[in-house]
């Protein structure tokens, strides 16, 4: 994790803290749309050939055909990537890139209420960007510094109250590397204690469960649960209210200990059982 945070700082991602390598919810793990823009721009500069994969509208995995969740690939002229994602804690997110002529635009949308809303807002952002670019206007410069705004209430509850230990260590290593290039000697950063990813604990019971996915459709949640049950996993669907909307969580478990839950979770990640939309 330290290597990820160091790289983030080197790329100028000043509002990002990574707590795990998979992007699933973790206490203290935060980012911003601007930081995702920085990461995406750097990624495309270094690996432009990756768009061959990001632009695929369908693909086969585990003997099943899947559709790319990026709806704009087939509805917006010039779109050829990049990444969609969904977890209940942050909503529907995506980074979409489109190229027309010599102009490439990257649009970032975080926290949409649905996949459809995510696509609509991204479509509007791309329209605005291309229109302004055609008029010789620029929306922003990646190197400019941005002041910190107010976090949404959901993120504010998990935001660190003081400088994050992982972020401090990452900044020290990033500063060390930068100054080594300039020939300036700096003390090595202090080692941080190893941390483990938290697994959901059911209050009132000594059991643990893994939130594998969540849906606003009970039918989709039950279909996903049946798929996981065929893999031999103990699964159940639990309904919950979030922001006035009903969601259906697909939980794997229960497990008697956090270590048992984490062991199953690692197997699920390795075998590609965790879904993203």
Average of pLDDT values for 242-261?
80
Q: Is the pLDDT of residue 181 over 60?
A: no
pLDDT at 253: 85
Any idea where the domains of the chain sit in the sequence? 29-143, 201-270
pLDDT in tens, 144-169: 333 333 444 444 444 444 455 655 66
Average of pLDDT values for 118-128?
94
Average of pLDDT values for 175-187?
47
CATH architecture designation of domain 29-143: 3-Layer(aba) Sandwich (3.40)
On the question of a common fold for 29-143 and 201-270, the answer reads no
The CATH superfamily assigned to 201-270 is Sporulation related repeat (3.30.70.1070)
Between 129 and 196, where is the model more confident? 129
Q: Mind spelling out the 3-state secondary structure of the chain?
A: CHHHHHHHHHCCCCCCECCCCCCCCCCCCECCHHHHHHHHHHHHHHCHHHHHHHCCCEEEECCEEEECCCHHHCCCCCEEEEEEEEECCCEEEEEEEEEECCEEEEEEEEEECCHHHHHHHHHHHHHHHHHHHHCCCCCCCCCCCCCCCCCCHHHHCCCCCCCCHHHHHHHHHHHHHHHHHHCCCCCCCCCCCCCCCCCCEECCCCEEEEEEEEECCHHHHHHHHHHHHHCCCCEEEEEEEECCEEEEEEEEEEECCHHHHHHHHHHHHHCCCCCCC
**What pTM was computed for the model?**
0.54
pLDDT in tens, 61-81: 888 888 999 999 999 999 999
């Amino acid at each position: 994790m330290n290597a990820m945070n160091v790289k983030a700082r080197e790329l100028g991602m000043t509002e990002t803290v990574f707590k795990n390598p998979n992007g699933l919810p973790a206490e203290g793990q935060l980012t911003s749309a601007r930081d995702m823009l920085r990461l995406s721009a750097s990624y495309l500069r270094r690996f432009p050939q990756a768009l061959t994969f990001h632009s695929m509208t369908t693909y086969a995995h585990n003997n099943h055909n899947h559709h790319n969740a990026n709806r704009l690939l087939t509805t917006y002229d010039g779109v050829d990537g990049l990444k969609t994602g969904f977890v209940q804690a942050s909503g529907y997110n995506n980074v979409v890139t489109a190229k027309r002529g010599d102009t490439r635009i990257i649009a970032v949308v975080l926290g949409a209420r649905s996949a459809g809303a995510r696509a609509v807002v991204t479509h509007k952002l791309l329209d605005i960007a291309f229109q302004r670019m055609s008029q010789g206007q620029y929306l922003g410069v990646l190197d400019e510094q941005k002041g910190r705004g107010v976090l949404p209430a959901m993120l504010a509850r998990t935001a660190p109250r003081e400088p994050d230990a992982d972020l401090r260590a990452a900044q020290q290593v990033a500063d060390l590397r930068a100054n080594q290039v300039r020939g300036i000697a700096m003390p090595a950063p202090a080692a941080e204690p190893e941390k483990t990813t938290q697994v959901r604990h059911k209050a009132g019971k000594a059991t643990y469960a893994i939130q594998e996915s969540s849906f606003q459709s009970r039918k989709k949640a039950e279909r996903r649960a049946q798929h996981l049950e065929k893999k031999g996993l103990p699964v159940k669907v639990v309904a919950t209210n979030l922001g006035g909307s009903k969601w259906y969580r697909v939980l794997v478990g229960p497990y008697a200990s956090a270590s048992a839950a984490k062991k199953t979770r690692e197997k699920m990640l390795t075998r590609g059982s965790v879904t993203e939309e």
